[in-house]
Amino acid sequence: MTALSPLGGGMRKRFAKILATLGPASRAPDTMRLLHEVGVDAFRLNFSHGSHEDHLANIKTIRSISEQVGHPIAIVADMQGPKLRVGEMGEGLELRYGDTVSVVRSDDASEGAIVHPHPELEKILKPGLVLKFDDGKLQATMISETEARIDVPGLLKSRKGINVVNAVLPMSAMTNKDREDMAFALEHGADWIALSFVQNAQDVIDARKIVGDRAGIIVKIEKPSAVEDLDDILAIADAAMVARGDLGVELPLEEVPVVQRKIIRKGRELGKPVIVATHMLESMIDAPTPTRAEASDVATAIYQGADCVMLSAETAVGRHPATAVAIMDRIITAAEGDPILWEYFEQTTLPHESSAEDAISRSVETIARTINAKAVFGYTRTGSTVQRIARERPPCRIIGLTPDAGTAARLALIWGTHPVVTEDPASFEDMLGRVRDLAKGVGLESGDRIMISAGVPFGVPGTTNTLKIDTV
């Protein structure tokens, strides 16, 4: 089985999606438009940087571009989360291998000591606890509640990050800043909220109380405790991100690829999209081309079944943002042109619920292969049916039809899905007429076989019960 030839009408040539981070290198409206044209399906607003005014300007630009191109573009608001940092270290503290150093909670520099301002960290310091600093460049092991032995030496400077390797911190994944940023993002129509440093399912439950159904929740898996609680976390969240930066600091490096595959697999089982992020084309921050290893890394995520791959500094501050997107697009397209990928999808066994929705979603994949269908048109209010279809990885395009603009924008992040905002049909005959008209608008040709998934009565959430095979 090979991937289908591309459709027109604004449809991508590929199925997996690209999420790009906005920053100084990409926030100009013309650059953002170019990034979308060469492959970006969703933009990430990093609330660790920039003001609300900056983010609002970006949101307005994205919505303007969406109107110009005639289809939704997803907006992901990424919360900073409770990042631990060392305090004021003056000129810096030279950590020497084997030395014993005090670890002190203090707002002021203390000569010869590692200082931090976090009462939550102070509560869990005990012998055996491992602390990493500055993205894992330095490491110490606690030998008492206040003393640590230096394992990996170097110069520790002020405000560098702290990672606690083998403990759950007694703190929420949301800070006061996150709550303010989340309220702002929701007020201005962000489609997805990304939670940083999630430790357990309760963190997602707390966020859901704020977000409700106004946006989808992406959990960033970057803590070992989140990996351990993965099943419960993903059961509540709407999507996951394999945040390999901090995950690679707190886990042994050799375990990160294993965890990545595990998260992708679990996400697909549940029909929850998974984004693979961090260091994907890192060398392109400066260089005009990626390394061969980076190209392989992107392709590996696609072969594993990722719904989306993300660019961070490459598009936020890099010298070649549009080129990075274009190259990522080419890598994905090449991987999806490999019959091995589609054989893997076909042979993967997924758990199914005893529901009409799952019966139809499962049938879509089988029928698409049997009749060489070019597309499936799925009517949906919440996006649920389309996501269930997407998890089956049918070898045809998925056109998500919804009257809800918010649902359509969220679907822009879903594998293989081209969202279209349209009214619910008045009758079965009206549905067929609308789909045939839409089919021509997305590049389908006369004689192409298609499928239509819908719920009767129309417009009622959770009633998907019909699958129609039709010809354009």
Active-site residues, by number, are 44, 85, 220, 278
Rg of the chain taking only CA atoms, in angstroms: 24
Is 84:74 a contact under the CB 8 Å cutoff? no
Q: Is the peptide bond before 457 cis (omega within 30 degrees of 0)?
A: yes
Contacts of 228 (CB under 8 A, 6+ apart): none
Please state, in angstroms and as integers, the Cα–Cα distance from residue 310 to each residue in 107, 279, 350, 367, 395, following that order: 36, 9, 25, 32, 23
Q: Which among 88, 173, 157, 86 is positioned nearest to 121, based on CA atoms? A: 86
Compute the distance between CA of residue 421 and CA of residue 406 in angstroms, rounded to an integer: 9
> Helix 52-69 to helix 176-187 angle, to the nearest 10 degrees?
30
User: Helix, strand, coil % (nearest 5) of the chain?
Assistant: 40, 20, 40
Is 339:303 a contact under the CB 8 Å cutoff? no
Q: Which residue, chain included where needed, has tokens 């905002």? A: 421
For the chain, the straight-line distance linking the first and the last C-alpha, in angstroms and rounded, comes to 23
Here the tokens at position 167 are 């403990």
What are the φ and ψ backbone dihedral angles of 311, each rounded to 5 degrees? Answer: -110, 135
Residue 189 in 3-state DSSP? coil
Q: Rounded to an integer, what is the distance from CA 21 to the centroid of its chain?
A: 11
Compute the distance between CA of residue 275 and CA of residue 307 in angstroms, rounded to an integer: 6
- Furthest-apart CA pair in the chain: how many Å? 79
Q: Which among 29, 28, 43, 39 is positioned nearest to 324, based on CA atoms? A: 39
Compute the distance between CA of residue 293 and CA of residue 170 in angstroms, rounded to an integer: 38
Q: Is the peptide bond before 82 cis (omega within 30 degrees of 0)?
A: no
Which residues make beta-bridge pairs with 162?
Answer: 84, 133
Is 448:371 a contact under the CB 8 Å cutoff? no
Q: Give the H/E segment covering residue 149.
A: strand 147-152
Q: Which residue, chain included where needed, has tokens 């960033």? A: 220
